[in-house]
Structure 1
Amino acid sequence: MKLKILPVVMAGGSGSRLWPMSRTHYPKQFLSLTGKSTMLQETLHRLEQVNHLPAYLICNEEHRFLVAEQLRSAKIDTGAIILEPVGRNTAPAIALAALKAVEEGEDPLLLVLAADHLIQDTKSFIESIEVAKHHAESGKLVTFGIVPTLPETGYGYIRRGSLTNNDELKAYVVDSFVEKPDLATAESYLACGNYYWNSGMFMFKASRFIEELNKFRPDILKATKKSLSGAAMDLDFIRIEKEAFVQCPDDSIDYAVMELTEDAVVVPLDAGWSDVGAWSSLWEVSKKDNNNNVIAGDVLVDDSYSCYINSPERLVAAVGLNDIVIVDTKDALLVAHRDKVQNVKNIVSELKLQERSEFLHHREVYRPWGRHDCLVQGERYIVKKVEVKPGKKTAKQIHFNRSEHWVVVSGTAKVYCGDQIHIVAENESMYIPVGTEHCFENPGKIPLEIIEVRTGSYLEEDDIIRTEENGEGY
């Protein structure tokens, strides 16, 4: 019996290793790092040559509108977007997808993928999926092992055992999963030829994963069943029951199932794979100039070699540099030696400890209705550029310590101020006094752009009471 493939894309994670581009509220799966599409979009586009059911996406609750907007803009349909109220690692997340699929009356082959992996050779990737499909249909739990190209110490490894009994569909029994090695051990793995990098990608029947999870971790299965039984639809999202999921143990699929099952099979994958886990990884896989530099954005270089320089917003000039990473954003600049970029996590930890906004989000903040960007800030004022998508509206709200002055620079605004409604056209303005209920809407067909000037004694975002919710407020 030929089973249908159901992609399950893991789009959670907060992302810190590619700071300052990647932030807690805007991690790397939502960034365009190697092309015009984001990594999430590329993951789904990669499957266009595979006959599959509409994909399930699993993401953090705070990323839900980012996911929905990126799917909409790329014209990608999905079967479900499952929201995790808290992170509980990969085993519970995959269990939710498996249980949901069975609940829908299907027992498909789950193709579990990460939203933030780079695969350069799509043809080889599709061929490996076809090999994995055969073994998964027979009840095996398949993992994809990346053919190693160097003695990498940042990945776990899979040691292969004997070849399966189908020589044409090349796969191996999994002998063991191995933790991240030191350099000498990694070099021995590479020389041996029996080891693969652990990609974190899998394929198996939904029912088989549930069976094995029930065998080894019935506590995880019980908690995920309970959280899914209490799920509710919210727009395009499935909100699982929070309290039950909070009680679910935190464990990876490797520890919970794959290292314990007797039916694990590894399919070799040689497709230019990378998890883009650091700026040095991105340098390795990106197109380089004649001096081995990777340049993105507004950059000038002179007498510089083997650098990675990314500056989408303003001019960066580099002179006399070797093996340096420079990443410039609107509110943060990273300068690091290419061999030390793994230590970026130490900077992120310090930002978190100091409770700085650069840990959480960019200066430009995305909302379901659009986005806003802080242009300048003083002791008693903030100036922001606000963009509202056509047909979108902010939540009604009240501020008690600031007034706001809005100037429309493009489009037309429908402004709700107290019990009055005003139509504000280009080059017109609107004043919102302290303590007045207000919101704005874009009734037009083009984006609405507003310059907002806040003045008052307290200007932070928590000076707000929402009186009527509409998606997410300002």
Structure 2
Amino acid sequence: MSSKIVPVVMAGGKGTRLWPLSRSAAPKQFLQILSDRSLFQQTLERVRDPARYEPAIVVTNSDFRFIVAEQARAIDTQLGDILLEPVARNTAPALAAAAFSILARFGKAAIMQVLASDHEIDAGAIYQDCILRAHQAARHGELVTFGITPTEPATGYGYIEQGEELTAGANRVARFVEKPDRAKAVAMLETGRYLWNSGMFMLPVKPFLDEMKHHAPDVWEAARLAVEGIRKDLDFSRLEAASFARAPDISVDYAVFERTERAAVVPSSFAWSDLGSWDAVWKTGRKDSDGNVVTDRATVSNTRNSLVLSRDIHLAVQGLEDVAVIAGEDAVYVGRLDDSQSVGNIVKTLARSPRTTALTEVHPTSYRPWGAVAAISDGERFAVKRLRVTPGKKISLQKHHHRAEHWIVVRGTAEITMAGETRLLHENESVYIPPGTVHRLYNPGKIPLELIEVQTGSYLGEDDITRIEDEFGRS
């Protein structure tokens, strides 16, 4: 039994609201937007105090399992577990599964703090005070949510109406309100009783599960069986698929919070944003004297109140106002900031065309359990990629039937196994791997290994691979 809080980080969402940086296979929680840390990494750092927290449990899906593990490793953070959802079933089944897992490990008195992995939060003194108040209310058996003090009549958030005052600075939840139109939002703010619904919670595990069993027994049963049937896979825990799939697709708000009499809210005035649009990113960013948020790889002239963001190519913006100009690796978005909530419309248009659908799904950079691969150039019978291999990691022992590969080391030291022989390759050295040759790449060093890979051949598809041996269970 532990008196510490057990953090549960929800990191399985797939979204494109920050396109072209976010894609369905590379959502915003794993992106470095205005920081050298991803939103997911910043979330982990907020719950890293060992005096207050147990190691975090991350709930995600199989597609993101390796990037979760890699980003935690990159900031030297030990995770308590990585729970893998076999199918997407919204927040109620995910949190019920996390609660059952925590109950088994930490006992009936455990309290879990639920955090979204893609929020921007000022974790200063006000935030810490809200955490303390929520923890105290949860210890009294309340199911606590955090209600953000509104700064404007926003129409992109749900709202919570505060009821009677409880102990420790929490209030009873009077009701939840769906995303309103502007007139209704203005009217609610004038009462002083309404807060933004943040989607963050502090939950006593046993009372939460009791309320779930009472109000959503099908969710409770599916999650219970899914946790009982967990299968360990390397550092991951796979929820039993058939049981979890029987859970309804329902949010924890609908399943429990709108039905229970134990819902409480902690009014929270710390700076918070769900970064659901480029306008929201601009509002949270550090502005220059003309109101612009500009990254290092951009230059602006006679431009005001704009967001200009790039991590690769250099952007030059002149004579514009109230715009977002966002450069990804393979696409650029330009639009008015006040219309950035509508970026989903252009993403849907792109997704409908075979020529552009990939731009909504994947990045040129994709993550592997051993590191990352970035596409540089491709054409008829060739492709050029940049490989980054994490220290101590190796790719599978493999061969390709239709393509040859040329590897050039640009940073670090590579251990190459080819046709049964092993040798070291240093910076500015290269190797040629003919089609059909069994080979493997390993980083024996202390720094990331970076290579340029040139593929040539009649077929360059990613399915032209035969894995003979793989430490990540893919052979």
Aligned residues: 471
Q: Is the 8 A contact 2:34 2:295 kept in 1?
A: no
Q: 1:472 offset after TM fit, Å?
A: 7.5
Q: 1:3 offset after TM fit, Å?
A: 4.4
Q: 1:446 offset after TM fit, Å?
A: 3.3
Q: Is the 8 A contact 1:21 1:28 kept in 2?
A: yes
Q: 1:32 offset after TM fit, Å?
A: 2.5
Residue type of the alignment partner of 1:259: E
SS of the residue corresponding to residue 101 of structure 1 reads helix
Alignment deviations for residues 358-415 of structure 1 (CA, whole Å, 9 cap, x no partner): 2222212222212222222111111112222222111122322222222233333222
Q: Is the 8 A contact 1:297 1:313 kept in 2?
A: no
Q: Which residue in 1 is equivalent to 2:436?
A: 435
SS of the residue corresponding to residue 344 of structure 1 reads helix
Q: 1:239 offset after TM fit, Å?
A: 1.4
Q: Which residue in 1 is equivalent to 2:426?
A: 425
SS of the residue corresponding to residue 310 of structure 1 reads strand
Q: Quick one: distance in 2 between partners of 1:222 and 1:186? A: 38
SS of the residue corresponding to residue 445 of structure 1 reads coil
Q: Which residue in 2 is equivalent to 1:213?
A: 212
SS of the residue corresponding to residue 335 of structure 2 reads strand
Alignment deviations for residues 247-293 of structure 1 (CA, whole Å, 9 cap, x no partner): 22111100000000011111101001111111100101111111110
Q: Is the 8 A contact 1:3 1:137 kept in 2?
A: no
Q: Quick one: distance in 2 between partners of 1:2 and 1:268? A: 27
Q: 1:204 offset after TM fit, Å?
A: 1.9
Q: Which residue in 1 is equivalent to 2:302?
A: 303
Q: Is the 8 A contact 2:211 2:260 kept in 1?
A: yes
Q: 1:36 offset after TM fit, Å?
A: 2.8
Q: 1:37 offset after TM fit, Å?
A: 2.1
- State how 1:72-471 maps to structure 2 within 5 Å: 72-106=73-107, 107-164=109-166, 166=167, 169-354=168-353, 356-471=357-472
Q: Quick one: distance in 1 between partners of 2:333 and 2:69? A: 30
Alignment deviations for residues 51-110 of structure 1 (CA, whole Å, 9 cap, x no partner): 122221111211111111111121222221111122111111111111011111423111
Q: Quick one: distance in 1 between partners of 2:349 and 2:471? A: 35
Over 3 Å counting, the alpha-carbon distance change for 1:297 and 1:472 in structure 2 is farther
SS of the residue corresponding to residue 215 of structure 1 reads helix
SS of the residue corresponding to residue 408 of structure 1 reads strand
Over 3 Å counting, the alpha-carbon distance change for 1:350 and 1:418 in structure 2 is farther
Residue type of the alignment partner of 1:157: Y
Alignment deviations for residues 110-150 of structure 1 (CA, whole Å, 9 cap, x no partner): 11111111112521111112111222111111111111111
Bigger drift between 389-398 and 422-431 goes to 422-431
Alignment deviations for residues 153-194 of structure 1 (CA, whole Å, 9 cap, x no partner): 111111122222x3xx22221111111111110110111111
Q: 1:430 offset after TM fit, Å?
A: 2.1
Q: Quick one: distance in 1 between partners of 2:393 and 2:139? A: 45
Q: Which residue in 1 is equivalent to 2:47?
A: 47
Q: Quick one: distance in 2 between partners of 1:80 and 1:174? A: 32
Q: Is the 8 A contact 2:384 2:455 kept in 1?
A: yes
Q: Which residue in 2 is equivalent to 1:66?
A: 67
Q: Quick one: distance in 1 between partners of 2:429 and 2:134? A: 61
Q: Quick one: distance in 2 between partners of 1:52 and 1:91? A: 23
Over 3 Å counting, the alpha-carbon distance change for 1:224 and 1:395 in structure 2 is same
Residue type of the alignment partner of 2:45: H
Q: Quick one: distance in 2 between partners of 1:79 and 1:130? A: 22
Q: Quick one: distance in 1 between partners of 2:374 and 2:44? A: 29
SS of the residue corresponding to residue 367 of structure 2 reads strand
Q: 1:308 offset after TM fit, Å?
A: 0.1
Q: Is the 8 A contact 2:46 2:123 kept in 1?
A: no
SS of the residue corresponding to residue 279 of structure 2 reads helix
Q: Is the 8 A contact 1:396 1:473 kept in 2?
A: no
Q: Is the 8 A contact 2:306 2:324 kept in 1?
A: yes
- State how 1:15-34 maps to structure 2 within 5 Å: 15-34=15-34
TM-score normalised over the length of structure 2: 0.94
Over 3 Å counting, the alpha-carbon distance change for 1:453 and 1:4 in structure 2 is closer
Over 3 Å counting, the alpha-carbon distance change for 1:401 and 1:350 in structure 2 is farther
Q: Quick one: distance in 2 between partners of 1:421 and 1:48? A: 41
Q: Which residue in 1 is equivalent to 2:11?
A: 11
Contiguous gaps of at least 5 residues in structure 2: none
Residue type of the alignment partner of 1:347: I
> Percent identity of the aligned residues?
44
Bigger drift between 326-335 and 113-122 goes to 113-122
Residue type of the alignment partner of 1:155: Y
RMSD between superposed Cα atoms in Å? 2.0
SS of the residue corresponding to residue 330 of structure 1 reads coil
Bigger drift between 450-459 and 431-440 goes to 431-440
Q: Is the 8 A contact 2:2 2:106 kept in 1?
A: no
Alignment deviations for residues 328-361 of structure 1 (CA, whole Å, 9 cap, x no partner): 1221111111111112112323343346332222
Over 3 Å counting, the alpha-carbon distance change for 1:458 and 1:189 in structure 2 is same
Q: Quick one: distance in 1 between partners of 2:441 and 2:345? A: 41
Q: Is the 8 A contact 1:394 1:473 kept in 2?
A: no
Over 3 Å counting, the alpha-carbon distance change for 1:2 and 1:193 in structure 2 is farther
SS of the residue corresponding to residue 191 of structure 1 reads helix
Q: Quick one: distance in 1 between partners of 2:221 and 2:433? A: 51
Q: Quick one: distance in 1 between partners of 2:430 and 2:56? A: 45
Q: Quick one: distance in 2 between partners of 1:99 and 1:177? A: 26
Bigger drift between 424-433 and 260-269 goes to 424-433
Bigger drift between 416-425 and 50-59 goes to 416-425
Q: Is the 8 A contact 1:224 1:244 kept in 2?
A: yes
Residue type of the alignment partner of 1:300: T
Q: Quick one: distance in 2 between partners of 1:470 and 1:204? A: 37
Q: Is the 8 A contact 2:84 2:239 kept in 1?
A: yes
